[in-house]
A = this chain, B = another copy of it.
């Protein structure tokens, strides 16, 4: 059995969400992955990767960042971002998260980056955005919000690898012209902790 088959949190899905019966964790007939299968009603509860949506907000050649007042990565800097919800689009989710974390009203311009992180089952979608007005302030999950010149971005205290990659790609694009669209896969080095944000390779990098 490859390690891939065991990835994710499928073994934490102990009970059936439909009937409450106890699940077993087995590979169903004709499939290749371990699934949570109800021993009472037979239904499978699937676990799917999650989308994280956010904004890279450009204002006067500066970037808006938030300092996290929640775990994980408490006290570290991030672009406003969070889990996409059922019933909204990625763009709407990115606008909502920016409002919640930075009390900032933004208009999205284009999708800048899609970054998959297979190890944790997450896909980041970061939109380029503009402030509709020059007002922002920390929301309940942030301790500070600040516009940073590109040379002053707090690289030593970034919250996540995804933000490091996004900012690096953005700065490289800006140096030679305008931002493109980037797809990439962030593969964290095995055995490193999530807080070791430099311990990754960027694979499958393609730009449009």
Whether A201 is near chain B, meaning CB under 8 Å from some CB there, is: no
Cβ–Cβ < 8 Å partners of A83 in chain B: 46, 48
Whether A160 is near chain B, meaning CB under 8 Å from some CB there, is: no
Whether A62 is near chain B, meaning CB under 8 Å from some CB there, is: no
Cβ–Cβ < 8 Å partners of A9 in chain B: 86
Known: A15-B16, A48-B50, A111-B114. 16 other contacts (CB 8 A): A8-B87, A15-B15, A15-B19, A20-B21, A33-B85, A46-B83, A48-B51, A48-B83, A48-B85, A49-B85, A86-B118, A89-B185, A91-B185, A110-B207, A111-B208, A181-B181
Task: List residues of A whose CB falls within 8 A of some B CB.
Answer: 4, 7-10, 12-23, 30, 33, 36, 45-51, 83-92, 108-111, 114, 116, 118-119, 121, 123, 125, 140, 180-181, 183, 185, 203-204, 206-208
